[in-house]
Amino acid sequence: MRIGLVGKPNVGKSTFFSAATLAQVDIANYPFCTIDPNVGVAFVEARLSCPCKELREKLEADGRLEPVAEDDPRQGSLCDPRTGTCIGHRRSVPIALVDVAGLVPGASEGRGRGNAFLADLANSDVLIQVLDAAGTTDIEGQFMGTEATLEQAQEAMQAEIDFLQHELDAWIGGLLEDGWSRGVRRVQAEGEKGLISFIQERLSGLGATMNMVNQAMLEFNAEGESTQQPWEWDAAVLHRLGQTLRGHLFPIAYAANKFDIAPEGVLNGFDQQNMVGCMADVELALRRAQAAELIHYRPGASSFSLVNDTSLNDAQRKALNHMGARLEAHEGTGLARLLDRVLFDHLERIVVYPVQDETHWVDGDGRVLPDAFVVPAELQAKALAYHVHSDLGDGFIRGVDGRTRRVVGAEHELQDGDVLKIHAKS
């Protein structure tokens, strides 16, 4: 599962990437400062408490574990994550974040990095487009100043949204147009099923599935876009079909960056379930201060605390005070909120915990809940076994629910937060 990070130059895309992954990329104010895709790992808090909270409560109730000490750095968490962290029973799970070089209008026609840029997005499950909410840059990413009006900033954001959609539409439309009439005539005897299969094969390099194409065709036909036979569709009809397909191939969420210097009300009129105001530069500075052990900061929080006020110099203290005010005013930097929405709402993922011992919730080495897998909602038990290891999937016998001890079959649909023991032939 990969999230593609896109946007024109100078909107703070590489800063967003570095803040989310703590990776050191070339953060510079010129086009294509990120020449090749950077792939990093960002961590997102699971929406439900880690099951180690239930485990602790049970052990404390049985008198086998003392209550949490006030100075416990993990605030009671008992698990031993193989990746990520768990503090205060807030379990973080990994997601792949891909940062690619800046997009410019005309990429589908070869401008900038052209199709090389668009091809880098083909393996992404969802896109986050980083926008300049302050309206400080033009459509090419060149700086224009810092005093945009509300109307100017909103128009600039809409222009950014439109141009990415246009490039994707043109790219998909171009793939459909190439040999369309001849190819469709070959499958006309198979009817709608043959047409869907043809389109899926044509767009398979973009990650198209039969289900995606089927849903898009239902929408396309419902809109009455064409009464002609498919082999008679011209470039305009295929472009509209490409627009419909784009919504399924490339779902897009929006990071309205530079939100703290944007005109008040800049998000009004946009879909705010799909757009979050962000301050990537503040998030990056706070992450670095945390790494330097100057502050205690949890991504997504609206405040932080100083580790040792006396160790700060005047410049550090002033900078941290300024960032603290911005953080409080905007209830966080927005990055964690956006990644949460993308992972759990757009991609409809859940977090499940496979274990080898359904009683103590440990693996074969005795580690408590070491794995937290991010999987599609309602994934079946046997499919989870394949996620863990192909041998477990091939030899799947049954699963056991770690909470109820109920035996479940291969087609049992998992729910968010499930703990599952998998029995398989050795």
pLDDT in single tens digits along all 426 residues of the chain: 889 999 988 899 999 999 999 855 455 444 444 555 588 899 999 999 999 999 999 999 999 999 999 999 999 999 999 988 999 999 999 999 988 775 767 766 766 666 667 777 887 889 999 999 999 998 878 888 777 899 999 999 999 999 899 989 988 998 999 999 999 999 988 988 999 999 999 999 888 999 999 999 999 988 876 657 899 899 999 999 999 999 999 999 999 999 999 999 999 999 989 999 999 999 999 999 999 999 999 999 999 999 988 888 999 999 999 999 999 999 999 999 999 999 999 999 999 999 999 999 999 999 999 999 999 999 999 999 999 999 999 999 999 999 999 999 999 999 999 999 999 997
156-163 long-range contacts, Cβ below 8 Å, gap at least 24? Answer: 156/132, 157/131, 157/132, 157/133, 157/256, 157/266, 157/270, 160/7, 160/8, 160/11, 160/129, 160/131, 160/132, 161/129, 161/131, 161/254, 163/8, 163/103, 163/105, 163/139
Q: What is the pLDDT of residue 118?
A: 72
Q: Which CATH code is given to the segment(s) 353-424?
A: 3.10.20.30
CA distance 137 to 119: 25
40 in Cβ contact with 169 (< 8 Å):
no
DSSP state of 344: I
CA proximity to 341, closest of 128, 163, 70? 128
CA distance 407 to 89: 27
The stretches of 294-372 forming alpha helices (DSSP H) are 314-329, 335-341
Provide the angle, in degrees to the nearest 10, between the axes of the packed helices 235-249 and 210-222. Answer: 130
Q: What is the pLDDT of residue 120?
A: 77
* pTM to 2 decimal places: 0.90
End-to-end CA distance of the chain: 29
**In the block, residue with structure tokens 């768990």:** 86
Residue ranges per domain, the chain?
Answer: 1-49+89-189+247-347, 190-246, 353-424
CA distance 351 to 422: 16
Is residue 274 helix, strand or coil?
A: coil
Q: Which CATH code is given to the segment(s) 1-49+89-189+247-347?
A: 3.40.50.300
CA proximity to 54, closest of 369, 285, 392? 369
DSSP state of 88: T
Q: Up-side HSE of residue 216: CA atoms within 13 Å toward CB?
A: 25
CA proximity to 101, closest of 86, 87, 111? 111
- List all residues 6 or more positions away from 65 whose beta carbon is below 8 Å from its beta carbon: 56, 59
pLDDT tens digits, one per residue of 19-76: 999 855 455 444 444 555 588 899 999 999 999 999 999 999 999 999 999 999 999 9
Q: What is the pLDDT of residue 379?
A: 97
297 in Cβ contact with 287 (< 8 Å):
yes
CA distance 422 to 40: 30
CA distance 124 to 108: 18
372 in Cβ contact with 84 (< 8 Å):
yes
Three-state SS sequence of 24-52: CCCCCCCCCCCCCCEEEEEEEECCCCCCH
The gap from C-alpha 127 to its chain's centroid, in whole angstroms, comes to 7
- Is residue 332 exposed (0-12), middle (13-18) or buried (19+ Cβ within 10 Å)? buried
> Hey, what amino acid is at 420?
L
Q: What does DSSP say about strands 396-401 and 419-424: parallel, antiparallel, or unpaired?
A: antiparallel
> Hey, what amino acid is at 97?
L
Phi (first) and psi of residue 412, to 5 degrees: -60, 125
